Chains A and B, each alone.
Chain A
Amino acid sequence: KNQVEQSPQSLIILEGKNCTLQCNYTVSPFSNLRWYKQDTGRGPVSLTIMTFSENTKSNGRYTATLDADTKQSSLHITASQLSDSASYICVVSFNQAGTALIFGKGTTLSVSS
């Protein structure tokens, strides 16, 4: 069964600290893996898109890694800020066009001062 599992379900960290969110998938065939950030009451916003051949991709303080052999991805947030408080959703695509996506349930991150 095609699935995307994220952990932890929720996380609370202090401002300035680093954190890592995990994503395991069993999707086949695999085209690309995406991380989205969703602020409360807003739509998801794309952070990174990685294909099979990409191991690491950064977007500012966000760094995503992909291990296609073990079917695992992580999203590392450096020097967290209050504005990082959001839900982070891992999404795996069957095709390059992005018309066949499997969504994870997300990790809710709370950054406190």
Chain B
Amino acid sequence: DAGVIQSPRHEVTEMGQEVTLRCKPISGHDYLFWYRQTMMRGLELLIYFNNNVPIDDSGMPEDRFSAKMPNASFSTLKIQPSEPRDSAVYFCASSQRLGQKTYTGELFFGEGSRLTVL
């Protein structure tokens, strides 16, 4: 498997523009997570899905942030409108369902999308 795939790897945009980050989880994984990483705060959970259903979005900072998972192989994180304080690295991660025969509990991260909002 190619692992968790994220795009774009880098995004530079101007304040007020819409930003869409994309993620393809590992095939067969039931959980998908969106994280944000900054120097000041480290890794923070924004939202996670189980079987394409959003379970906990309490980490989403504002209504400007939204996430969708229309099917088991694709998710998006959208910021509209973007602000300079949204500049960070956004990671997508996926994991197996507890109870699966091959379950290890391991969380697999993508390579991240580095967002810079000017």
By a beta-carbon cutoff of 8 Å, the part of chain A in contact with chain B is 32, 34, 41-46, 49, 89, 93, 96-99, 101, 103-106
Are A106 and B104 also in contact (CB < 8 A) when A97-B98, A98-B95 are? Answer: no
B interface, over-half SS: strand
**Chain B contacts with A in 61-118, Cβ cutoff 8 A:** 91, 93, 95, 98, 104-112
The tally of CB-CB contacts under 8 A between chains A and B is 50
Whether the pair A104, B42 counts as a contact (CB closer than 8 A) is yes
CB contacts (< 8 Å) of B108 on chain A: these are 46
Q: Does B14 contact A (CB under 8 A)?
A: no
**Can you show 26 pairs from A to B with CB atoms below 8 A apart?**
A34-B107, A41-B111, A42-B111, A42-B112, A43-B110, A44-B91, A44-B109, A45-B109, A46-B107, A49-B105, A89-B43, A96-B98, A97-B31, A97-B98, A97-B105, A98-B95, A98-B107, A99-B31, A99-B33, A99-B48, A99-B55, A99-B56, A103-B42, A103-B43, A105-B42, A106-B42
Distance from A31 Cβ to chain B, minimum over Cβ atoms (Å): 9
A interface, over-half SS: loop
A57 to B9 Cα, complex, angstroms: 33
By a beta-carbon cutoff of 8 Å, the part of chain B in contact with chain A is 4, 31, 33, 42-45, 48, 50, 55-56, 91, 93, 95, 98, 104-112
CB contacts (< 8 Å) of A45 on chain B: these are 109
A50 to B94 Cα, complex, angstroms: 19
CB contacts (< 8 Å) of B42 on chain A: these are 89, 103-106
CB contacts (< 8 Å) of B56 on chain A: these are 99
CB contacts (< 8 Å) of A99 on chain B: these are 31, 33, 48, 50, 55-56
Distance from A103 Cβ to chain B, minimum over Cβ atoms (Å): 4
